[in-house]
Structure 1
Amino acid sequence: MVPCPFAAATVLLLFRAGVLGFPLGQGPHSTTGCGYKSCPETQPTMLNVHLVPHTHDDVGWLKTVDQYYYGERNDIQHAGVQYILDSVVEQLQQDPARRFIYVETAFFFRWWRQQNAETRKIVTELVNQGRLEFVNGGWCMSDEATTHYSAVIDQMTLGLRFLNDTFGPCARPRVAWHIDPFGHAREHASMFAQMGYDGFFFGRLDYQDKKRRMEARDMEMLWRASESLAPPTADLFTGVLPNGYNPPAGFCWDQSCSDPPIQDDPNLEDYNVDTIVQKFLKVANDQAALYRTNHIIMTMGSDFQYENANLWYKNLDKLIRYVNAQQSQGSKVNVLYSTPSCYLQELHRANLTWSVKTDDFFPYADNAHDFWTGYFSSRPALKIYERISNSLLQVCNQLEVLGGPSSRRGPHGDGDSETLRRAMAVAQHHDAVSGTEKQHVANDYAKRLAIGSAHCQVLVSNALSKLSGSDAPRVYCESLNISVCPLTESSDEFSVTVYNPLSRPVGWAVRLPVNGTRYSVTDPSGREVDSQVLPVSQATKDIRRDRGHATNELVFQAQAPPMGFRTYSVSLLQNWPPRAPPLPGAPLFLKNKYLSVTFDPDTGLLSSLSNLETKQTVQLKQNFYWYNASMGNAESLQPSGAYIFRPNSSTPVPVSLTAKTRSLQNPVVQEVYQQFGSWVSQVVRLYEDSRELELEWTVGPVPVRDLFGKEVITRLDTSINSSGLFYTDSNGREVLERRRDFRPTWVLKQTEPIAGNYYPVNSRIYIKDGEQQLTVVTDRSQGGSSIQDGSLEIMLHRRLLLDDYRGVGEALSEPGEYGDGLVARGRLLLTLAPPAAAAETHRPLAESLVLQPLLSLQAGRLHPNALLEFSGLQAALPPAVHLLTVSQWDGDSVLLRLEHQFQVKESQTHSQPVTVNLQKLFSTLTVVGVSEMSLAANQWKDEMTRMDWKGSTGEKPLQKEQRDPSTWEVTLKPMEIRTFLLHIRR
């Protein structure tokens, strides 16, 4: 607990005692038998086999979340989660030795709400006795390649809070459990460590890596998941499960399995106890040869199993009884019901020194030609919608705090943030934002985000009404990227409110569809703002078809204060002649005071980019290509699909060798329109005060009449000498170095030179040499690589004709709104700078795309007494500090996360500790109490304990105690996130 002035001490103590549902350290019932204390005894002189009954319940995949829960559409897949939980609870009551683990809180939350008091009492006792154990505990088991760290933290917080509020500390998971995601990100391990987990188990890793680890008995390790956070802050014990997440072959006893049950009546013809016991002993001893202790783990379950839990438990009871009976005959194998945390505890007791891993587990391949790198880019429209929804949720959370209770029930109706929070949490699932679900499931994810967004928009409207004093209806135009907004298209007078969720001021280019030719735009002080009216491009008209009728776009540069809004007034000016359209053949040259861009006059392609401040120029050619998707060949039958990227050639096909161009220049923005064919176009855009070059690409519908699926990329070929190295972010945070055709952990035998070099790009990718760094910032998660020195490529779109045999059972060929194929549009931002200074550019730039300003519009004139400018902060935070979370917790308590967004040694200026005063943070809220929490906000920080592990690089230095300079001031070190629960007074 952070000390506080005497006047607030009583408030603070009361605040901390009950704010997490049950006071920490207590629960609804006795907690003496839960957690590690509840673990069964083992035999120190024997091989202990920890049987872990479990089910893996995808939060949507082949069926929607609802269909999986209720057991609907069993013609697609037989699965009904409600019956699994019913059956398991019934069977756990039959024998106190039985155990079960559960993972997906999204499903358990639904089930719990439907139970009567008697069932809830039974389940609570099972949790308190450690017989029903929650592992992972987030709303879902998130994807690790295509998720952003802020959304992952949110979904983990949502699930863990429900468990804590419902059961108390006995439900707190000790183990992170990612048995199905398709590769593993270092940032996820770092987050799990900071959330207080003692260990992490997963099922999938590259087949070459697994082979080496099995031979070296290196299946368990210490993952040092940050180069910036002092050990052991981001250290996490990590184990690879032996059979993915399935039982050993021959020991599956679910209704979906075909293995024979244990038939133990010797009077019957099919008696098989001796055969099964001997087979199990061999399996156990073979597995033990791959691991380092006298403890091994076996996952006894799989996808949506235990719907009839009696089948599993009846056979597991027999297996334990008959295998352990062999001990009287000299057997040294001891079998027991267990959990991952109990297994982890035994590994900790072994007190061994473990190997240390510092890289990540990407890319993942399960065979020589089967690289799971396609899903980095699958379903690009869903990926951007998830990212935009995350930005809206953060705005919604902030305004719920700033607007107070009236934001939920106000002049615009009842709104809430919870609906979008849950929809976003579901979208983090490893078959959601990853793009690896069936089409009808992808539609359902998008629908949930849309419903949640509508709830948040009502809340935002109410909060802005409270803060501004204007109750006029607000409109949110969600199709501005294709120039559709009925209000601006038909109004002569309206206002635009720009809300900025960042903790620093931002400039943002506002582009609104209009039908007038001249407009007046004024800021809150009545000053005229430079604006221009540009014609809507033909490419945009082709995409939107009949959804809008604007002929022009109004463009102006808006400024918004930190965590606040600014409102601009827009009025049509009459009797002005229309502006001339972009001219073909005009000089292809863009220049402002920061950047200069040239184009090849013969091809119309980009040819150079210059930073005028540093006097650097890089030769830069950019074009669009596609890889023909493999449909299988003599070398391997593996085709490309939703998961797998496998081109049939290492040489991509250019969409066109030239681009038809038109150029437009005015004082606000300069644009070059490039048409590369009927289905690919781009706008190269430079705003007047911008230090980055914008590439707005449009791809689709991808043609497949030639019977080839296509993987569409953009490639930037430069004069930078990158020496086989490139750099990508991990879940939007720390940056990892990548080396072409290389893995830090093992000697790679490269079998797919393109797909085997692709990595997830959540927000940025770059190449550099000693003088220059070219950074590409993306607006969504995509796959990217550097296949040749000086080159960067990013996959933008995929349309395929075959399923890739990984279970989804559909080709990835999205129909789009009109059924002729999906059209995707997005933005890439390019910066050029010396490597030492580049971080100071690309980190804030990436942050501004993740948390974009929200535009709301009101028709007519503004209320004369309306407040047109507001900031929720007393002052902008230092450049190194990011306001990661501001959200309502309970009553007068607010969850706050402050993040240092620079790595150690990344920036001479910003990679230093920074101090923030919490009492001087907000402009309209007074902080009267504060307690620090774990990253997931389910433990008090000063009560959080974790297991210590020894790594082969030597003893870990103990992290020095965090010492803040004063009562209310908190210091952030590079890459540190600190989480606080604030008690506020309005």
Structure 2
Amino acid sequence: MIGKIHKQMSHDSWLFSKMATPDYTPFVFLLLLFQSGVWGVPSCHATKPGMLNVHLVPHTHDDVGWLKTVDQYFYGDRNDIQHAGVQYILDSVVDQLLKNPDRRFIYVETAFFYRWWKQQTDDMQNTVKQLVNEGRLEFVNGGWCMSDEATTHYSAVIDQMTMGLRFLNDTFGHCGRPRVAWHIDPFGHAREHASMFAQMGYDGFFFGRLDYQDRNRRMVAREQEMLWRASESLTPPMADLFTGILPNGYNPPEGFCWDQSCDDPPIRDDPDLEDYNALVYKTNHIIMTMGSDFQYENANLWYKNLDKLIRYVNQMQSNGSEVNVLYSTPSCYLQELHRANLTWPLKGDDFFPYADSAHDFWTGYFTSRPALKRYERISNSYLQTCKQLEVLGGPISRKGPFGAGDSETLKKAMAVAQHHDAVSGTEKQHVANDYARKLANGWAHCQVLVSNTLSSLSGSSAPRVYCEHLNISVCPLTETSKKFSVNVYNPLARPVSWPVRLPVNGTAYSISDAKGKAVDSQVGLLSLVTFDPETGLLSSLSNLETQQTVKLSQNFYWYNASDGNNSESIQMSGAYIFRPNTSTPFIISKTAKIETLQNSVVQEVRQWFSPWVSQVVRLYTDSRALELEWTVGPVPIGDDLGKEVISRLDSSINSSGVFYTDSNGREVLQRRKDYRPTWNLRQSEPIAGNYYPINSRAYIKDDKDQLTVVTDRSQGGGSIQDGSLEIMLHRRLLYDDVRGVGEPLNETSDIYPEGLVVRGRHLLSLSPPATAADTHRPLAQEVVLQPLITFTDGELHPSTRLEFSGLQAVLPPAVHLLTVSQWDQDTVLLRLEHQYQASESKEHSQPVTVNLQKLFSTLDMLGVSEMNLSANQWKDEMTRLDWKAESGTHHTGVTNQLCLLSPLGCVKTADLL
């Protein structure tokens, strides 16, 4: 089975049947059956040519946690915080849809719908299936949640979309498959998200939030609907996605809200819609969202007034009115735009940063709740390992010597964590605690599964110990046991060099590998060697291989947060908003107290800047990067001012106001200070207005040198001065920013009642720009998918198997093993991706050939079939609407072909996802 990966920055999804151990029975690969017929036509109401067709879209926006927890929102608990009960919304909507076949409703969040569905009777489930088949209830987006777009990693986004879409596919078939992506609430929009949506088969994408200056320009230019070219590497239209901006965000027009939480009067007279917002759109169709947060709990209020609105307005056509109002859905609206057969403007960048007025930049949440952001990221790593070991272990992984384990619990917890008020850090504190609790529960279920698999693969029934606090040097086993084994599982499909640091009690330890060969190790002993004779700070960075050296200083600063007492604006910094009260940050200390350690394994400098800021600078033997492990907190607030703490690198690189950040961990985008590619920016916040999300890496460069910083979680940052990179590490704020969360971002914990202490890592690399990607891409993957370390106490049984590899051969450097996951009893979901952008690497941006039949060591591949990225449709059956772009555009994508030689023949596709 040979797969040839031609496409830079491409994904692949394959389902293959397997036979791994005698426990497996050979089985044909998974078949998904789809209905034939033309999508959308039977379920859409007719429109009227020559009239303004107003598409009314009844909807509810149900946050998967925000002011209340997921459970509280579903059941309607804690209505003293917010009146919301999702189960009652769905009950009420279904009841009202049955009363009038003209009515329509769309639903988004599968996490809630899944829970509601499981509680319904067979009769009710059949009724809902009929509503879906008739197009009266339409699913849009369909992921487990509506994910954040700034602080999420693409692998976790793909997982949560796959989970939601698979449930809809299995439950409702073709009619339940969403054709429209719907991100009406996230606070800025990433190009990589649009690329993923396109590769998942969506025909269009609608959202509500964009920068106020951008919206104003687009309204004048009639460019509120466009074709988003979401990849520089994929051949159009592979990553092209029709994208529309909703005229009212996701709220109804003023005066037209009829929920029980609204104050607008019911319809009494003929309302006057006229040309509401129509002149700023290109066609004679306009979409209006009729609903809002957790509305339709009493759906009768909405539908009774919407029925009247439609009847009264359309009656006026007999008197010459040219307005036609109809119940509709996003897919029906999109279908009408497609029928217009127009050309659409192109967009090639993203929608960050987002500001809703001159001093209100939503760039603080790029860093908010840094501990939760880190926990989410390492949970993603653990989930990928858990899914791999579930496949490699077979049935014994789920029910083995250590009990029943599963990956589903962590899958669902991680899916919920992608929500735009979860990993974003924009929820109430008790909700953040609930997200962490769900992740911890998922870990516990996966730990049983991992123990079962490792026991089976090694032949040892010795209990596995998990030390989850190694980041703070706590592991009771290694600190007390005289003899123990360390088990390291690498989830990447290539070898990595990974230092293992363990807390121990003593200085005399001997370590051997699986072959009995001594492993170089050292127990930390300090000597008093100076790092810098004057300041104790980093002063330069060198690459000995390339003989490069740049001047480089690094230090910690903070911005005082605005408290709203300002003549220009009363806006305060909060969970969403970053607004420093000055453009000049305060330095924490101009010097650092230092201690050093140097041995055959690592060179280490420990720096103390203040009682609440310290750092360890490490360079491991043969490492490609310098590690900066920072510790910040408790952030002092005795001056009654919130603080936003940054690490700043100042170098001799001539970056000319340009720097680069990744988009959800995938493609890299260029950023320019005080500049937006699609409009003439009037910069009103010189710091916050130049901050962008950094999901895994950022860099600056000139003709000779590129300085790259790899982060261990999503953070915000910018290049405010030439040759400089600053990354926000921690935020402690004393005021709410009036965006709904209703409390300041002032985190404490039982361990740190005086304020949260956060620890993290930055990896610095210096390379020539032409080859820098060959270092920073694999380095970023190593941080995202780090090895899993477990321990066993005492002597190992002589028959214990000490080495195992799930692969027969290492994958090429350009190919990343994104997903190996159990699909059903005998079918596995496999995703491979070409992880380099076009022209990014002279060596690795080239086509690559992968022999799938010789990939796994314990799985015999019996058949294979290619699917779309979200694995809810066969690739050769995926059809999308074609859109015409305005001329004068350019792309760097190349033509691609794929042929998989399988036992069932050769499967060919024109494009490779």
Rounded to whole Å, the distance in 2 between the matches of 1:626 and 1:972 is 55
1:919 and 2:853 aligned: yes
Q: Deviations over 1:137-175 (max 9, x none)?
A: 000000000000000000000000000011111000000
Once the two structures are TM-superposed, the CA of residue 35 in structure 1 deviates from its matched residue by 3.3
Rounded to whole Å, the distance in 1 between the matches of 2:71 and 2:543 is 52
Please give the secondary structure, in 1, of the residue aligned with 2:772.
helix
Q: Deviations over 1:605-627 (max 9, x none)?
A: 10001111111100001000000
CA contact (8 A) 2:898 2:909 kept: no
Please give the secondary structure, in 2, of the residue aligned with 1:829.
strand
Residue 587 (structure 1) aligns with: 530
| AA in 1 matched with 2:356 | D
Residue 391 (structure 2) aligns with: 401
Q: Deviations over 1:683-734 (max 9, x none)?
A: 0001112121000000000000111100000000000000010000000000
Candidates 94, 110, 118, aligned match of 1:113: 118
Greater relative contact order: 1 or 2 (C-alpha under 8 angstroms, separation 6 or more)? 2
Candidates 213, 223, 227, aligned match of 2:218: 213
Please give the secondary structure, in 2, of the residue aligned with 1:286.
coil
Q: Give the TM-score normalised by the residue count of structure 2.
A: 0.96
1:909 and 2:843 aligned: yes
Please give the secondary structure, in 2, of the residue aligned with 1:513.
coil
Once the two structures are TM-superposed, the CA of residue 399 in structure 1 deviates from its matched residue by 0.3
Once the two structures are TM-superposed, the CA of residue 871 in structure 1 deviates from its matched residue by 0.6
1:159 and 2:103 aligned: no
Candidates 708, 715, 738, aligned match of 1:782: 715
Rounded to whole Å, the distance in 1 between the matches of 2:898 and 2:470 is 47
Rounded to whole Å, the distance in 2 between the matches of 1:15 and 1:69 is 41
CA contact (8 A) 1:376 1:782 kept: yes
Candidates 763, 787, 807, aligned match of 1:873: 807
Residue 131 (structure 1) aligns with: 136
| AA in 1 matched with 2:539 | S
Q: Deviations over 1:545-575 (max 9, x none)?
A: xxxxxxxxxxxxxxxxxxxxxxxxxxxxxxx
CA contact (8 A) 1:353 1:950 kept: yes
Rounded to whole Å, the distance in 1 between the matches of 2:906 and 2:611 is 56
Once the two structures are TM-superposed, the CA of residue 11 in structure 1 deviates from its matched residue by 10
CA contact (8 A) 1:231 1:956 kept: no
The CA RMSD over aligned residues, in Å, is: 2.2
Q: Which runs of 5+ in 2 are unaligned?
A: 4-14, 20-24
Residue 712 (structure 1) aligns with: 645
Please give the secondary structure, in 1, of the residue aligned with 2:247.
coil
1:413 and 2:403 aligned: yes
Q: Deviations over 1:762-806 (max 9, x none)?
A: 000000000000000000000010000000000000000000000
| AA in 1 matched with 2:818 | L
Residue 899 (structure 2) aligns with: 964
| AA in 1 matched with 2:520 | D
CA contact (8 A) 1:898 1:977 kept: no
Residue 683 (structure 2) aligns with: 750
Residue 342 (structure 1) aligns with: 332
CA contact (8 A) 1:220 1:354 kept: yes
CA contact (8 A) 2:17 2:827 kept: no
Rounded to whole Å, the distance in 1 between the matches of 2:799 and 2:17 is 40
| AA in 2 matched with 1:884 | L
Residue 8 (structure 2) aligns with: none
Once the two structures are TM-superposed, the CA of residue 18 in structure 1 deviates from its matched residue by 8.2
User: Are residues 466 and 9 of structure 1, via their aligned partners in 2, closer, same or farther at CA, if it must alter by over 3 Å?
Assistant: closer
Candidates 620, 635, 660, aligned match of 2:568: 635
Residue 834 (structure 2) aligns with: 900
Q: Give the TM-score normalised by the residue count of structure 1.
A: 0.89
Residue 575 (structure 1) aligns with: none
Q: Which runs of 5+ in 1 are unaligned?
A: 264-272, 535-580, 589-599, 979-986
1:647 and 2:647 aligned: no
Candidates 73, 79, 86, aligned match of 1:74: 79
Q: Deviations over 1:577-602 (max 9, x none)?
A: xxxx4234x132xxxxxxxxxxx311
Once the two structures are TM-superposed, the CA of residue 963 in structure 1 deviates from its matched residue by 3.6
Please give the secondary structure, in 1, of the residue aligned with 2:92.
helix
Rounded to whole Å, the distance in 2 between the matches of 1:513 and 1:929 is 47
Matches within 5 A, 1:259-658: 259-263=264-268, 273-274=269-270, 277-278=271-272, 280-281=273-274, 285-534=275-524, 581-584=525-528, 586-588=529-531, 600-632=532-564, 633-658=566-591
Q: Deviations over 1:633-665 (max 9, x none)?
A: 111000000000000001000111110011111
Once the two structures are TM-superposed, the CA of residue 916 in structure 1 deviates from its matched residue by 0.8
Please give the secondary structure, in 1, of the residue aligned with 2:665.
coil
CA contact (8 A) 1:731 1:762 kept: yes
| AA in 1 matched with 2:485 | S
Residue 557 (structure 1) aligns with: none
Q: Deviations over 1:897-938 (max 9, x none)?
A: 000000000000000011111111101111010000000000
Once the two structures are TM-superposed, the CA of residue 83 in structure 1 deviates from its matched residue by 0.2
Q: Deviations over 1:421-463 (max 9, x none)?
A: 0000000000000000000000000000000011001100000
CA contact (8 A) 2:865 2:907 kept: no
Residue 697 (structure 2) aligns with: 764
| AA in 2 matched with 1:469 | G
Rounded to whole Å, the distance in 1 between the matches of 2:196 and 2:490 is 26
Please give the secondary structure, in 1, of the residue aligned with 2:523.
strand
CA contact (8 A) 1:219 1:291 kept: yes
Residue 952 (structure 1) aligns with: 886
CA contact (8 A) 1:64 1:444 kept: yes
Once the two structures are TM-superposed, the CA of residue 466 in structure 1 deviates from its matched residue by 0.7
Residue 256 (structure 1) aligns with: 261
Please give the secondary structure, in 1, of the residue aligned with 2:813.
coil
Rounded to whole Å, the distance in 1 between the matches of 2:356 and 2:441 is 38
Query: How many aligned residue pairs are there?
Result: 893
Please give the secondary structure, in 2, of the residue aligned with 1:208.
helix
CA contact (8 A) 2:864 2:902 kept: no
1:854 and 2:788 aligned: yes
Once the two structures are TM-superposed, the CA of residue 820 in structure 1 deviates from its matched residue by 1.1
Rounded to whole Å, the distance in 1 between the matches of 2:453 and 2:632 is 38
1:691 and 2:624 aligned: yes
CA contact (8 A) 1:913 1:971 kept: no
Rounded to whole Å, the distance in 2 between the matches of 1:19 and 1:9 is 8
| AA in 1 matched with 2:429 | Q
Once the two structures are TM-superposed, the CA of residue 959 in structure 1 deviates from its matched residue by 8.2
Once the two structures are TM-superposed, the CA of residue 961 in structure 1 deviates from its matched residue by 6.6
Rounded to whole Å, the distance in 2 between the matches of 1:649 and 1:971 is 60
User: Are residues 926 and 103 of structure 1, via their aligned partners in 2, closer, same or farther at CA, if it must alter by over 3 Å?
Assistant: same
Rounded to whole Å, the distance in 2 between the matches of 1:793 and 1:11 is 48
Once the two structures are TM-superposed, the CA of residue 314 in structure 1 deviates from its matched residue by 0.1
Query: Percent identity, aligned pairs only?
Result: 75
User: Are residues 433 and 36 of structure 1, via their aligned partners in 2, closer, same or farther at CA, if it must alter by over 3 Å?
Assistant: farther
User: Are residues 116 and 630 of structure 1, via their aligned partners in 2, closer, same or farther at CA, if it must alter by over 3 Å?
Assistant: same
Residue 706 (structure 2) aligns with: 773
Q: Deviations over 1:942-971 (max 9, x none)?
A: 000000001113699998572427448999
Once the two structures are TM-superposed, the CA of residue 977 in structure 1 deviates from its matched residue by 6.8
Please give the secondary structure, in 1, of the residue aligned with 2:674.
coil
1:674 and 2:607 aligned: yes
CA contact (8 A) 1:293 1:347 kept: yes
Once the two structures are TM-superposed, the CA of residue 46 in structure 1 deviates from its matched residue by 1.0
Q: Deviations over 1:459-483 (max 9, x none)?
A: 0000011111011100110100111
Residue 178 (structure 2) aligns with: 173
Residue 10 (structure 2) aligns with: none
Please give the secondary structure, in 1, of the residue aligned with 2:234.
coil
1:25 and 2:34 aligned: yes
Rounded to whole Å, the distance in 2 between the matches of 1:99 and 1:42 is 15
